[in-house]
Amino acid sequence: MNSISQQGQRFVYDALVIGGGIAGLTYALELARLRPATKIALVVKQGLVESSSYYAQGGIAAASLAEDSAALHVSDTLKAGDGLCYLPTVEAIITASTQRLQDLKNHGVAFDQQNDGHPDLAQEGGHSCRRIYHAGDESGKAIVDVLMQAVKKTPQIQVLEFHTAVNLITDAECHIPGSWPEVIGAYVLDEQQALIHTLLASVVILATGGAGKVYRYTSNPDVATGDGIAMAYRAGARVGNMEFYQFHPTLLYHPQKNNFLISEALRGEGAYLRLAGSGERFMQRYDPARMELATRDIIAHAIFTEIERGAHPYVHLDIRHRGKAFLESRFPLIFQTLLTLGIDISRDLIPVVPAAHYLCGGVLADVNGKTDLPRLYALGETAFTGLHGANRLASNSLLECVVMGYAAAEDSTRWLGVAPNHEKAIDWDSYGVTDFRRASQINAHWRGLRGEMTSYAGIIRTEAGLKDLLKLIRARRGMIDEYYWQHIVTRDLVELRNIILIAELITRSAINRKESRGGHFRADYPEKLSNSNESIFQLNS
């Protein structure tokens, strides 16, 4: 066993930003611009480049062509959301898209252009026309790199890499009965020192992304463990729409590259889906009008169904007919990455499977990121604003991150001149021991949980399976919590504690929704209800 007895330190900031994707970076930069004297902490679990934003291939959706309009973009978003989008949020975010796109360009983000200087817009599933601004097939990287460099040049922003948020700190002991407790900071694990520091702030921003690691197959990086949602829920905030996990239809199926996404833009440029073995195109059985340009929920369900029926654990994506020169130019990352694996996409078929990609639910928040809890904001994939409804329209996610980052920065300035009550904050006692054998056993829950979630709460669900899953999750959660309270807190343990809670919330939500809609398909309730509302859970025991 190993023991430590050092105490973490206490730090005070104006704003504490947890998460270094596009939402967190945008917020920090805009707040620093609005309030130059503001002291901002930006907490990231690894380096600044390790986020779902960084690996986003597609781009940002914004209407600019003569035949397009914000109203048409709104309509496409509502259709993709399958009846559960919140119209005021959809209109607010899409209306702001053109201005926020220009803001990114002003920062120095270079989106692809045609030879005549006009934007080279891409087409993606669910969109009525071309409206995706992109930088090759590494759009997220292009944006994050520019914003990251700007953050490094901004002295008001202190970047804390290899720091993992553990829990939010509230004034629950001294707030007025009947009101929401204020969030006044967070406990944060400094991995390099193995200490838990107390970071206090006037405002706390959760921009931690999604929770793809709850499933066996995911396009998300390893840091996507639902930390912000879990922390907010434990603190008393409401969460909603957790049953709507979007599965991206085309993750590369390859043993050497198990989380590499094959962008939806390939289908936008004419790629076909074919059955492995026979080579038959099959989307005519599911959406004959749109075929491969149907929305993600429909295509993921179609691929999953065909895989279950067939003899192969994958289907093929076929874009050979577009030619090598075009493919190398339009999809340089995908082309070169697959070439290193022996797949020449100008000559070879691409094996793909659906994978957990995007959580459409999260912490209940308005378009400015405000949550139930005063001083707490949630942005991007961490938030449930109603933009995505039951199924996200492609390339609306990075747009949401940028728009909400700017909106939250302006809205949250209200708290900067109002000092929070830090008197009741208690520093974390880092004394404890680690039982390495037991830690290894506890971490083994990762493998079991991810397999169970994929089998029982994946693309196709049933009540019997979900109820079995809930029993398994609660048994696992009991063991994990018991270990958590008795031993040193490590990043693995923090993430495991969060992801088991996320799994429970997804499962409870999926049990409650007795219909099929968007990213939630119940084989025992295949029809859509006309009067179905969002599922929102209040904190309980």
Q: Which residues are catalytic?
A: 296
* Token pair for 95: 């209306």
What is the distance, to the nearest Å, from the Cα of residue 284 to the centroid of all Cα atoms in its chain? 30
Tell me the Cα Rg of the chain. 23
| Strand pairing report for 10-18 and 132-133 | unpaired
The owner of tokens 């900031």 is: 13
Residues of the chain by 3-state class (helix, strand, coil), percent to 5: 40, 20, 45
Q: How far apart are CA 493 and CA 432, in angstroms?
A: 14
Q: How far apart are CA 65 and CA 295, in angstroms?
A: 21
Q: Please name which of 5, 269, 312, 298 lies closest in space to residue 132, comparing C-alpha atoms.
A: 269
- DSSP secondary structure, 328-357, as one string: HHH-HHHHHHHHHTT--TTTS-EEEEEEEE
Q: Would you say 191 and 164 are in contact if contact means Cβ atoms under 8 Å apart? A: yes
Q: How far apart are CA 109 and CA 75, in angstroms?
A: 28
Q: Name the E strands within 83-137.
A: 132-133
Q: How far apart are CA 473 and CA 14, in angstroms?
A: 38
Beta bridge partners of 350: 317
Q: How far apart are CA 473 and CA 465, in angstroms?
A: 12
